[in-house]
Chain A
């Protein structure tokens, strides 16, 4: 496998303001690569640098082995991009936008436009400015995929899509991936990255803190645990290796846990429980894990 996207110490700074620093990534051909971090962490800055929408301060950024700035035109022939905020020309109907978009790729995209519009249930003849946010997002998806790109870059793609349409969208991305497209999927929602990605890079404060396979991330992640015991139970003796931030309040306790779940269950079993919640950590909790290291 070869890297479709490769960055080495990619840095973008805006004077004193941080953009991204020393971002080194390699997205392999054919994979769906998640890019996750809270808002403002540097996901969009990295993507915009890859697309030459902004100019890097230092480092290297290559797509298909070509330099992102010097070979931008060549690269963009095979890239489909869905920005997080979808805006298009005033007074334009969806079909006109797609025709205009297709005209840049010098190939007949009408069949693919029809297929995608039918799949996403989009009225092609409606003016884009009169559409709901969800439908505008569909317009963005179609214009990003209509030329069957080799690399699909999605920046927060699901905002505005209802759950059913999200599923359709994920199925579509998987289908594009099966066709051979590599996907860079940026999001701040861990569950959607877990749902679709093979590997994930976590970015925090402009720096990559970890690149992992999704299953490794899940294994290494903390669990959020809370439980309530019957009246009279004394929880002060509760202790299990791997528990952090333990807070006991009356008959209830909560903590973040990473460790042997059998030991956790054994310890919990010592108490007369009314309720137990063991949940997937939120993104913030995942980041706590990286802060603590």
Chain B
């Protein structure tokens, strides 16, 4: 419990900044910009017709969808997801490399607590932080949905679609944990997390351009698409399974590495 609470306490300030950023960006775009966007449909379509198709695809614009609530949600999610991915990776890298960065691995690993228990406490701390953010995200999503005059019968879909962020963050949390446990040195948590987040964005943009399934399998930002929930009621099973497999594999490998590695002398 002490490692768990210390981890949360250590990350609290940056964690709040990340969470507020996600919620504010979502709120501004979905409750503010959405209505303006819908009201200016003709102008937007005119402007859009001048864009090269590849450009629109790379930025997540699907003109056939974007003038629906689910389509606009998907468009905004593309960007929320980048912030969420960077946040989740940062939470994991920060937690699992904390002692490595401070050169105090000896301190923690010579306390009467097993390495498995330390790993679990850090993982639970990360999961707790992401869970709280996503509970708030879902709550805000419900408020926005209700406030935007959408059909109340579609609320369950809006809630489930909002969970895309949490599931995607779990994947990035596991990738971050893998990086932090295997890297010999971790110099900058935000730097590495941002690199991972943008790598995810580039892969998702590549998928949007090429529409190749093979690319989507290696593009974690596209595993959970909110639009799929709005249109079909659920996420696409094969990508959800891929996401679960990636997350379990990364966490499993990280756990084994954390428990087995020889701590080098300084």
Which A residues form the contact surface with B (CB < 8 A)?
14, 44-45, 48, 51-55, 72-77, 79, 81, 83-85, 87-90, 100-101, 103-105, 143
Contacts and interface: CB of A to CB of B under 8 A. Distances in A.
A101 B263 contact: no
Given A44-B265, A87-B103, A51 B6 contact: no
A83 B266 CA distance: 10
Contacts, number: 66
A105 B99 CA distance: 19
Given A53-B106, A55-B260, A100-B6, A85 B266 contact: yes
Contacts of A76: 110-113
B38 interface: no
**Most chain A Cβ neighbours within 10 Å, of B2, B98, B109, B262:** B262
28 contacts: A14-B262, A48-B263, A48-B265, A53-B105, A53-B109, A53-B110, A53-B262, A54-B263, A55-B262, A73-B112, A73-B114, A75-B112, A81-B110, A83-B266, A84-B265, A85-B265, A85-B266, A87-B104, A87-B107, A88-B102, A89-B99, A89-B104, A90-B101, A90-B102, A101-B107, A103-B2, A104-B111, A105-B112
A19 to B, nearest CB: 9
Interface string B3-16: 00010001000000
A225 B152 CA distance: 98
Interface residues of B, number: 23
B265 A104 contact: no
Nearest to B99: A89
Given A53-B106, A73-B114, 7 more contacts: A14-B262, A53-B262, A54-B263, A81-B110, A83-B106, A90-B101, A103-B2
Interface string B76-113: 00000000000000000000001101111111011111
Most buried by B among A55, A74, A75: A55
Contact of A143 (B101, B107, B113, B260): B107
Contacts of B263: 48, 53-54
Contacts of B6: 100
Contacts of A75: 112
A196 to B, nearest CB: 22
Contacts of A53: 105-106, 109-110, 262-263
B153 to A, nearest CB: 51
The 4 closest A-B pairs by CB, nearest first: A87-B103, A54-B262, A76-B112, A104-B111
Contact of B113 (A45, A73, A85): A73
Given A53-B263, A55-B260, A72 B106 contact: no
Interface in B102-151: 102-107, 109-114
Contacts of A104: 2, 111-113
A143 B139 CA distance: 44
Nearest to B101: A90
A48 B111 CA distance: 13
Contact of B2 (A84, A100, A143): A100
A53 B259 CA distance: 10
A143 B106 CA distance: 12
Contacts of B104: 87-89
B93 to A, nearest CB: 15
A76 B107 CA distance: 12
A77 B112 contact: yes
A76 B113 CA distance: 8
Contacts of B2: 100, 103-104
Nearest to B260: A55
Given A53-B106, A104-B2, A74 B98 contact: no
A103 B110 CA distance: 13
A160 B30 CA distance: 59
Nearest to A106: B112
Contacts of A85: 103, 265-266
A15 B107 CA distance: 26
Contact of A89 (B98, B112, B265): B98
A87 B265 CA distance: 12
Contacts of A105: 112
A55 B260 CA distance: 8
Contacts of A48: 263, 265
Contacts of B109: 51-53
Interface string B50-81: 00000000000000000000000000000000
A89 B98 CA distance: 8
A75 B109 CA distance: 12
Contact of B107 (A45, A74, A88): A88
A257 B103 CA distance: 45
A109 to B, nearest CB: 13
A77 B109 CA distance: 12
Contacts of A87: 102-104, 107, 266
Nearest to A14: B262
Nearest to B105: A53
A208 B159 CA distance: 66
Contacts of A101: 107, 111
Contacts of B112: 73-77, 104-105
A28 to B, nearest CB: 22
